[in-house]
Amino acid sequence: MSDVGDCLFCKIIAGEIPSKKVYEDDSTYAFADIQPKAKVHVLIVPKRHYATVAELAQDDPAELSHIVGVAKSIADDAFHGAYRLVFNTGEDAGQSVFHVHAHVLTGEVLAE
């Protein structure tokens, strides 16, 4: 697992690594995934570092709720409100960056 000092997403949020920003406010940052799995594939991250969605839910449930609202807003703009929202939690579930992030997949009809 990464810590805050070497966290890829913390560096993206800080502007140390470039990204294609989709949304930003005081607590949340969203950017285009560099390996999209759908026509629109956006990652939404809290600016404060949490390793997993369970940690975020425990420590800041309002931020988790806000992330879901941001996902809906992105989907409303991109594809009439239809979207898939995915949180990978743990290495065996596909989490490769240990800064919680929601994958918003939309922009087209998605297969099951």
Residues labelled as active-site residues: 101
Q: What is the C-alpha separation between 70 and 60, in angstroms, rounded?
A: 16
The tokens of 96 are what? 């490769």
CB 108 within 8 A of CB 79: yes
45 CB-contact burial (10 Å; exposed 0-12 / middle 13-18 / buried 19+): buried
String of b and e for 20-29 (b: at least 16 CB within 10 Å)?
eebbeeeebb
Q: What is the C-alpha separation between 18 and 37, in angstroms, rounded?
A: 20
